[in-house]
């Protein structure tokens, strides 16, 4: 009996050893994308998988083209990619059309036994990846293709849309040319609809990160009352990744939608149904501020003449609160977009090019009323962070950068009623922060044995941080 047990143990050990050899690395199944062809070029995506028996899994690859949707790669048949004996996989991401303008590539690791049931048909311009595929995947990853034009404005990196064909909204051609999107010497953003070589070209930018619940403010330096009936200017939030919750779309839109007699502005929480939209008229004024505050229970919109972070300090134009929690999208993978385009791709009625200028964008996170800074309530006369109890405490501050020196940067902290500056010293190298940027800084307080005034922070500092 002892001999049989030893033999069984030996067989189990051998089987386990063989399984370990088949599962390189340790931990859960994973897939990554190590390379994609640069934006505007055709080529391949490639990567590796681990934590699996390679012969039992496949990779489903999809690309995202802004305004066009998600597309299966390499082809509709085959729709999945085999993994070789070393865990490598590769595929073309261009099979025709405007595939070269895809901005995002996603890879899903799925069991071979689940295919084709989990991925029964080709994805051709869908608004999102099929739920059956995401549910069956044991791992997934995404890559943003390099080579896209990026501008830095209001302390944030923004991708500039380039379509290469007529796509949504519209449909329109969107150009990343400096004739359509640029920053002037005052760091103001210019969006322009142009008409080179007989083709109307529109403009759109999108933030490289999400923000979540909070107040979104857009400071406009152009009159919006006289926008051509066929032109639409809109700052909004939108999710490229999910179809759920109407793509988490919340809009401020300036357009007469083709009717010269219509009101020229609206607020909307998608979908566009009765009760979800508020129309109003934007009067003649050279500058204006437009904002919405998004929470789990409501979205509050307001517009004023002039530039104000507090609407009570400017001439009011309109405000509206949408308070139907069941119809308010939760936060998730949305980004901020700002676009200037033609309704239905129809030329302006006067045949002229169009321009809208914005001086800046701000995001203010939701905070409990009266909270000076996250977790910190005391300051000394120098307006620095003062310790309250034990040291080494996490903190978070936000505001606009007023100065920078070798010690770090000073911000006008939005939590101070008087708006006095405070200084945060950034020890981590590699942060790209400029005067005028709107920042959220995260770090820790120094040890409690140090002086009560703390001007040193370490850890992650980003121009704008998630909640």
pLDDT tens per residue, range 125-168 = 999 899 999 999 999 999 999 999 999 998 788 999 999 899 99
pLDDT bucket at 350, cuts 50 / 70 / 90: very high
pLDDT bucket at 332, cuts 50 / 70 / 90: confident
In this structure, the strands spanning 456-457 and 421-426 are parallel
**Spatial distance between the Cα atoms of 432 and 461, rounded to a whole number of angstroms:** 10
Structural domains in the chain, sorted by start? 21-144 (2.60.40), 150-365 (2.60.120.200), 385-462 (2.40.50)
**Spatial distance between the Cα atoms of 182 and 188, rounded to a whole number of angstroms:** 8
Q: 295, 315 in Cβ contact below 8 A? A: no
Q: Which of 156, 275, 257, 263 is nearest to 216 (CA)?
A: 156
> Per-residue pLDDT averaged across 11-21, rounded?
34
* pLDDT tens digit sequence for 391-450: 455 555 666 677 665 555 566 555 444 445 555 554 433 445 667 666 655 555 554 443
In this structure, the strands spanning 104-111 and 156-160 are unpaired
Q: What is the pTM of this model?
A: 0.80
Of residues 295 and 461, more confidently modeled: 295
Of residues 431 and 350, more confidently modeled: 350
pLDDT of residue 405: 58
pLDDT of residue 406: 54
pLDDT bucket at 47, cuts 50 / 70 / 90: very high
* pLDDT tens digit sequence for 255-290: 999 999 999 999 999 999 999 999 999 999 999 999
* pLDDT tens digit sequence for 354-403: 999 999 998 887 755 444 444 344 443 333 444 444 445 555 566 667 76
**DSSP string for residues in 255-302:** --TT-TTS-SEEEEESS--TTSEEEE---S-S-EEEEEEE-SS-EEEE
Q: 159, 187 in Cβ contact below 8 A? A: no
In this structure, the strands spanning 250-254 and 265-269 are antiparallel
Q: Say how many residues make up the chain.
A: 467
């Amino acid at each position: 009996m002892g001999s049989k047990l030893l033999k069984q143990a030996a067989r189990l050990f051998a089987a386990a050893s063989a399984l370990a050899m088949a599962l390189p690395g340790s931990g859960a199944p994973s897939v990554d994308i190590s390379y994609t062809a640069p934006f505007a070029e055709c080529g391949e995506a490639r990567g590796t998988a681990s934590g699996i028996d390679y012969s039992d899994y496949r990779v489903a690859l999809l690309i995202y083209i802004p305004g066009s949707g998600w597309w299966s790669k390499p082809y509709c048949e085959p729709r999945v990619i085999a993994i070789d004996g070393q865990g490598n996989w590769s595929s073309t991401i261009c099979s025709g059309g405007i595939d070269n303008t895809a901005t995002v590539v996603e890879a899903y690791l799925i069991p071979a036994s689940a295919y084709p049931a989990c991925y029964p048909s080709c994805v051709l311009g869908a608004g999102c990846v099929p739920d059956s595929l995401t549910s069956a995947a044991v791992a997934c990853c995404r890559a943003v293709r390099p080579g896209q034009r990026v501008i830095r404005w209001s302390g944030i990196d923004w991708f500039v849309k380039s379509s290469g064909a007529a796509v949504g909204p519209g449909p329109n051609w969107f150009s990343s040319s400096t004739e359509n999107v640029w920053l002037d010497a005052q760091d103001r953003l210019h969006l322009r609809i142009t008409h080179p070589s007989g083709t109307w070209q529109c403009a759109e930018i999108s933030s490289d990160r999400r923000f979540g619940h909070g107040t979104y403010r857009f400071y406009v330096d152009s009159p919006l009352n006289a926008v051509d009936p066929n032109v639409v200017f809109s700052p909004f939030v939108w999710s490229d990744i999910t179809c759920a919750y109407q793509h988490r779309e919340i809009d401020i839109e300036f357009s007469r939608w083709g009717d010269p007699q219509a009101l020229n502005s609206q607020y909307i929480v998608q979908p566009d149904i009765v009760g979800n939209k508020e129309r109003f008229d934007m009067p003649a004024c050279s500058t204006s501020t437009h904002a919405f505050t998004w929470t789990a229970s409501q979205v509050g919109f307001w517009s004023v003449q002039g530039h104000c972070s507090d609407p009570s300090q400017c001439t009011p134009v309109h405000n509206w609160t949408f308070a139907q929690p069941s119809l308010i999208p939760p936060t998730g993978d949305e980004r901020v977009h700002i676009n200037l385009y033609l309704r239905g791709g129809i030329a302006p009625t006067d045949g002229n090019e169009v321009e809208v200028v914005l001086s800046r964008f701000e995001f203010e996170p939701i905070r409990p009323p009266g909270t000076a800074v996250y977790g910190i309530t005391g300051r000394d006369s120098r307006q620095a962070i003062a310790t309250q109890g034990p040291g080494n405490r996490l903190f978070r501050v936000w505001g606009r950068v007023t100065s920078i020196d070798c010690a770090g940067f000073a911000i006008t902290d939005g939590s101070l009623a008087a708006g006095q500056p405070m200084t945060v010293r950034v020890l981590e190298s590699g942060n790209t922060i400029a005067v005028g940027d709107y920042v959220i800084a995260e770090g820790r307080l120094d040890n409690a044995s140090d002086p009560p005034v703390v001007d040193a922070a370490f850890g992650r500092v980003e121009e704008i941080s998630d909640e």
